[in-house]
Amino acid sequence: MSSDFAEKNNVNTDIVTLTRFILEEQHHYAKEASGELTLLLNSLQFAFKFIAHTIRRAELVNLIGLAGASNSTGDDQKKLDVIGDEIFINAMKASGNVKVLVSEEQEDLITFKGPGNYAVCCDPIDGSSNIDAGVSVGTIFGVYKLLPGSNGSINDVLRRGTEMVAAGYTMYGASAHLMLTTGNGVNGFTLDTQLGEFILTHANLKIPLSRTIYSINEGNYIYWPAPIQKYIDSLKEPQPDTGKPYSARYIGSMVADVHRTLLYGGLFAYPTKGKSGKLRILYECFPMAMILEQAGGKAVNDNGDRILDLTPKEIHARSGIWLGSKNEVDKFLKATGQQFLNLN
Ligand code: AHM
Ligand code: MG
């Protein structure tokens, strides 16, 4: 609590740091918990701070450009992809709470020696094709508790998204913003670089119910099936309620596009192109879907199935995705004739 004197002088002497928040959340929702997830979240925040610091200095210390290799899914790796991945792996290994790690940059699953009851899936630096232009990129992560009796295997991560115990992303933009859920709503934190702490700035965040903004790479129009083409076309017509068409916003960095969608409302989509989607289920679609649902929004695939009910067949499996404000996703489902039965 800040005193009257502090308040009069506009000074908050009682800020909620991420560490304080997760300890209080553990006390509130899981009094009997061992504290391992709390420690793991603490290790994650160290990785985010380290990556944020590295990205900020990238141009100055020759970390811009290609590393000269490609990653597990065939994308060209940027130097920062390699460094971000290494920072993440080392932080998770050092936490002592992580047994299994899936990274977009690693073809195979990593199993750490030693203790650990959790599996973490991550895209250490998503949207890295934007990085040389100083556009916001981010780290996306999802956390599972290992299956009972498991010593760490692929089965710990080839599970439905509903089984994640925590998920979120950190966007490295003008500031570093961490959006986190442990299944009790979404809370947003902003990194105060002077204090070196993530500060609670968006408590119990809810996405607006609707907003006439759509976010999609329309360069792929020709690959979409007719109902999707028709739906996107319809957004460019004056809408019955506003008399105006939707606005288009597309950054090309999922974390930045989803972050805007979460704060302003609207619809973000990356539908299937040809045979498969682009975005990876475990470390792109699942964490974003959990964040969106916990904020009161929705996330479905091209068939209208709830994203969190999918089970990936392999660690780098992909899916089409439509996420955003509840009314916007429902409108898409209605227009394309699909039912989304699993949620209210
Ligand atoms: P990446 O994991 O290789 O960075 O690719 C994922 C990114 C997302 O951040 C973004 O939504 C999408 O790719 C953009 O793809 P496109 O350039 O095809 O629009
Ligand atoms: Mg990615």
Half-sphere exposure for 50 (CA within 13 Å, toward CB): 18
pLDDT tops 90 at residue 331: yes
Dump pLDDT digits (tens) for 70-112.
Answer: 666 666 677 888 899 999 999 999 999 999 999 999 999 999 9
Q: Count how many Cα atoms sit within 13 Å of the Cα of residue 143 in the half-sphere of its side chain.
A: 25
CA–CA distance, 165 with 209 (Å, rounded to integer) = 25
Residues in Cβ contact with 74 at an 8 Å cutoff, skipping those fewer than 6 apart: none
Q: Is the pLDDT of residue 60 over 50?
A: yes
Q: Give the tens place of pLDDT for each residue, 280-306.
A: 999 999 999 999 999 999 999 999 999
Q: Is the CB of 85 under 6 A from ligand 1?
A: no
CA-217 nearest atom, ligand 1: 19
User: Is the CB of 225 within 6 Å of ligand 1?
Assistant: no
In the DSSP assignment, the letter for residue 162 is: G
Query: Residue of the nearest CA to atom 16 in ligand 1?
Result: 252
Residue of 76, 103, 129, 257 to mutate, ligand 1, most atoms within 8 A of C-beta: 129
Pairing of strands 298-300, 279-280: unpaired
Tell me how far the alpha carbon of residue 171 lies from the centroid of ligand 1, in angstroms.
Answer: 14
Assigned CATH topology for domain 18-202: Fructose-1,6-Bisphosphatase; Chain A, domain 1 (3.30.540)
Q: Rounded to the nearest 10 degrees, what angle do helices 18-29 and 36-57 cross at?
A: 160
Strands 213-215 and 267-270: parallel
Q: How far is the CA of 297 from the centre of ligand 1 (A)?
A: 22
Residue 340's pLDDT band (cuts 50, 70, 90): very low
Structure tokens at 168: 């979120």
- Determine which residue's CA is closest to atom 7 belonging to ligand 1: 127
Q: For ligand 1, atom 15, which residue shows the shortest CA distance? A: 252
pLDDT confidence tier of residue 63, bands split at 50, 70 and 90: low
CATH number of 213-335: 3.40.190.80
123 lines ligand 1 (CB under 6 A): yes
Residue 114: count of CB within 10 angstroms of its CB:
9
Residue 344 confidence (pLDDT) above 50: no
The reported pLDDT for the residue numbered 342 is 43
Buried b (16+ CB within 10 A) or exposed e, 39-62: ebbbbbbebbbbbbbbbeebeeee
Residue 218 CB–ligand 1 contact under 6 Å:
no
| Alpha helix (H) residue ranges in 116-241 | 226-235
Domain chopping of the chain, boundaries? 18-202, 213-335
Q: What is the average per-residue pLDDT within 164-171? A: 97
Q: Of 16-25, 249-258, 292-301, which range is least confident?
A: 16-25
User: What distances in angstroms separate CA 157 from CA 13, 120, 142, 228, one per listed residue?
Assistant: 41, 8, 10, 31
CA of 254 to the centre of ligand 2 (A): 8
The reply to whether 213-335 shares the fold of 18-202 is no
